[in-house]
Structures are given as C-alpha cells and as structure tokens.
Amino acid sequence: MVDLVPWSWYVALDGGELDGLIGAAGVMRFDWPTREVRTRFFDGVSGGHNVSLSPDGSKLLLGNFSQQIVVVDAASLEEIARQTTMAIEESDYRLRANTHHLWVDDRRFICAVGEHLYRFSLDDLARPERIGAHRLRNVHEIRWSRSRRYILMGDLGPEDSGARQVGVYDLERNESTIIRLPGTVWHVAVDPERDLGYAATYSINAQDDDFVDWAPSYTREYLFEIDLPRALVRRSFSAASDFPIHLNSDLELFADGDDRRLYVASGGSHTVVELELERFTGTRVVTVAPGFWRRPRALRQWWRNMWGVFLRKSVFTNLHLVLQAWLVTDKRFTDGVYCTRVSPDGRYLVAGSRGYNYVRVMDRRTLETVSETFLPRLDRGLHLGLHHSEMLARGATAR
C-alpha cells in the first residue's frame, strides 16, 4: 500500500509588481512533505510566466514574455541554456512570446514563435523546425490532446484588442482550425484520457483600447468543453459576474474513472474553483488566503499594489474600473491565486496566493487545510510573484 508520494511543485515567478506581465523571471520549487522552498531568479529575462517539465523531470522550460527560450535544471535550478526567439521570427509586441511549451521527449519541445508553431531541439536551439501557421493573433497557453494529435491554443489577442477565439492545431493534417467564442481565452487544459479540451474566459477592461494599462472586468465568465477532433464547443458553463472565478491562471484537470473535476486558479478572486465535469455543473469554491491576523505580513506588498493601481488607472477618470477590480478581488487590493495543482497521488490540492506570498496544501476531497506555508520574500520585502505551475512525483514509500 502506498503511504506517501513525495512531490515537487515548480512555480514560475514574476517578481513583486502588481501586474505579473511586467516583472522579473524566476522559478520556485516547493517540496512535499518537507515543505522546503528554493527559489532562483534569472538575470536578463523578464516576465516569468510558466514552467514546463520534461518527461523525465530533469529539465524545465521557463516560459516568459521576453522572447527567450530559457532551459533550467529542475534539481539545482541552474540555467542550462538560453536562446532569443527574435532571430527566428521578429516580434513587435512585448506580450507576443513563448510563454508555454509542450515537451515532445526529453530533448525536443514545441512552442509558438511569431506566426508559427516550431519544434525545437536542445541540441540546436537556434535552428528549430517550423511546423505550420497557428492562425491566432497571439498564442498563449498550449496543451496537446491525449493522442498528441491535436494542440489546443489560447489567444491573448493583439496589442489593441481582445481575442474571442481559440485554435485547434491538427498535427496530422498540419492545419489550424479557429473556434470563435463570446470571450477572450488565455488559458486552456486537456483531458488526460479523452480528446477533449477546456477553455476559460479571461475578461479585462481597457480604456481607449489601451491593453497595457488594463484592469479586471467585473462581468460574466465562461468555461468551455471542446471536442478537439471536431474543433467545436461541446458544452459550456457560464457564471454570473459575482461568481469568484476571475482572471484565471492554472487550469488543472483531475480524472479518476468517472470522477473528473476541473480546478481553476482565480488570480483576481483569491479562490480555487472546482467544476464537476461529468455533469458540467456543480461547483465548490475555496478561498485561499491566510487568516486575518496573519495578513499584516503582506502589508508592504499591499502598499506596493496600491501604487501599482494608481500608476495604471486614475481614480478621477477611471473610478469605475477601480471599483470593478475591488469587486473582483472581494474588496481586497491584493493579487489572488494564480497556481494550483493536484498531487500525483490525487490526495492533495495545492494552491499559491500571489498577493499574500502564501502556499496552502488541502485535502482534495474535503478542501480542508492540511498545511500552510508563508514564502520567503524579495530583498525589498515584496512577494515572489507566483504564476503558472507544474507538479512532479519524486517516488513512493510503501508500507
């Protein structure tokens, strides 16, 4: 009988800014059950966003917004290799970058650069193989199907608008199909047992089409189930504006027979939302934040966030946007939960609060707290900037 499955949780770090798209780039490793935390930031890279672990767990790709391939040793967190993508295809928009990757094997991976998908090899990062045109405006998260025939792609949109669409790339036909949606989708997930994908809308407000100084939008959100071979929406879930599922980041799909659940990290709303997939309805919501008396630990970050708010929006001309953000965050001026994963044995749900610089391990079935950890802070007393994450089993102890 398996008594304990130790695991390591890797999280991309983006530093102490309010907006996770403009900060530094690093990696955190959180080990269970020791709760040991290790972090490393990398000079010359910015906008750390996502980590992608190689199949053998020895390497990770640090997705970022600075148009660079960054390969990191998963054990030591030392940088292994780096390559600019500007030599492959130019980019005139700082959010058009290789933020997410798919490992083909322990040496090769796929990501979007410019207008195309490419297959890279660690043996020669400067000369990737071009796969084909993705047909999206600005590819963000990519996930491939159980069969590895289809790649589901989210779309950030261009610099001056949103993008209400996702793409499904068929690797056998070497073509991309666009699916139009009633909301912009940044983040996606796939079913590990079926050729199904999932997409969550990500709604933001922009004054005069300025998608640099944006704010969360207090509006209805959607989750879509997508039939990947047919490239169409199979089922949809829509939530009222007061449902706490705003500014999603990690989407985690847990499947154990007929028990299939989607977990959504809500970066705006300080929650993890669970959706039962068999019925595509029935939700549970858990707020991930430290107790009231422990929150003063984040006071310096709170002040930094307030400065970030005032730098981005004037309270005199954009008070309505500031109030919408206030409602989205449940009347907090701090960031919410950007990373969540289910442990390899299915026992635990782990989530990280970016604003409170805090990790919680929960019993997945009851959502009761098992462990809480406050993370180390940057030299300026600011949070690490938790963003997307991946989970790695380190072995098992039998009894």
DSSP annotation string for 230-248: TTEEEEEEEE-TTSS--SE
Residue 120 exposure: Cα atoms within 13 Å on the Cβ side: 26
pLDDT of residue 206: 66
Contact between 203 and 216 (Cβ < 8 Å): yes
Please list the rounded mean pLDDT of every run of 10 residues in the chain (399 residues). 77 88 94 96 97 96 97 97 97 92 98 97 97 96 95 89 92 97 96 95 72 79 97 97 94 92 95 96 94 68 68 73 80 87 96 94 97 91 92 65
For 41-62, what is each residue's pLDDT tens digit?
999 999 999 999 999 999 999 9
Length of the chain: 399
Q: Looking at residue 63, what is its pLDDT?
A: 98
Beta-bridge mates of residue 358: 353, 374
Range of the domain at 263: 2-398
* pLDDT value of position 208: 55
Order across the sheet with 102-103: list the strands.
102-103, 108-113, 116-121, 129-133
The model's pLDDT over 303-342, given as tens digits with 9 standing for 90+, comes to 676 667 666 767 777 778 778 877 888 877 788 899 999 9
Q: CB under 8 Å to 309, separation ≥6 — which residues?
A: 18, 322, 325, 333
For position 136, which CATH number holds? 2.130.10.10
Identify any residues that bridge with 265 across adjacent strands, giving them in sequence order: 272
Number of domains in the chain: 1
Q: Which helix (H) or strand (E) holds 75?
A: none
